[in-house]
Amino acid sequence: MLRFHDATKGAIRLNGIDLRDLSQDDIRGRIAYVPQKAWLFSGTVASNLRFGNEDATEADMLHALEVAQSTFVLDQPQGLDTPVAQGGTNFSGGQRQRLAIARALMKHADLYIFDDSFSALDFKTDAALRHALQDETRDAAVLIIAQRISTILHADQIVVLKDGEIVGLGTHDELMETCEVYRAIAESQMKGGE
């Protein structure tokens, strides 16, 4: 999707346009990517959010923080001007993930890719964030890469991979009926309290 590698068969399209026909700048302007290991830059919370949209207003930033369940920033004495250490080491893993998600939301992208970006969140925060994201991303495509079934439970389409191969495709209910790999993962997580 981000064209680190081009498709060797077929095509990947964004709004009907083959990604190979778009420049890297155009692709980066249309896609917001949040990796599992969220990275923050030294500066402030506001300067990190502005990496997603340099013209962002304070209201834009506050809205993105609210959607990303990151209002803990507002409890800090300096609010949006709270310092951020290189890599965001002065925040917990879950806080870094939520701030990276807020930064992605500032972009108003055509496609949001969340690459296991909810893994450091507790289940309550994860659920609240996913619920808020539904409204915020309703006009965009959303690709979630996840290990937790609860994170993708309500996805329109779930692709199950094993050893780099697609072994299942469908909704949660369909996969529970047709995909042994998916069912085994779901059952093990349900037993484990996830």
Interval 145-181: pLDDT, tens: 998 998 899 899 999 999 999 999 999 999 999 999 9
CA 106 to centroid of chain Cα atoms:
13
What does DSSP assign to residue 80? G
Residues 35, 87: Cα–Cα separation, whole Å:
13
Residues 142 and 176 in one domain: no
Looking up tokens 């996840």 gives 146
Strand pairing class (83-84; 43-44): antiparallel
Mean pLDDT in residue range 106-124: 92
Say which residue, 88 or 191, is predicted with more confidence.
88
Same domain, 177 and 121: no
Determine, yes or no, domain membership for 19: no
141 and 176 share one domain: no
Same domain for 128 and 70: yes
In a shared domain, residues 125 and 162: no
pLDDT above 80: residue 5: no
* Least confident piece of the model among 9-23, 35-49, 104-118: 9-23
Mean of all residue pLDDT scores within the chain: 92
pLDDT over threshold 60, residue 194: no
Q: What is the pTM of this model?
A: 0.88
Q: Do 53 and 121 belong together in one domain? A: yes
Task: Say whether 52 sits in a helix, a strand or coil.
Answer: coil
Residue 42 lies in a domain: yes
> Are 79 and 173 in a shared domain?
no
Same domain, 96 and 173: no
Q: Residue 168 is part of which domain span?
A: 157-194
Do residue 71 and residue 126 come from a single domain? yes
- Is 16 a member of any domain? no
Into how many domains does the chain fold?
A: 2
Distance of CA 55 to the CA centre of its chain: 22
pLDDT exceeds cutoff 90 at 80 = yes
Residue range 83-101, pLDDT digits in tens: 999 999 999 999 999 999 9
In a domain, 182, yes or no: yes
CATH number, domain with residue 48: 3.40.50.300
Residue 9 lies in a domain: no
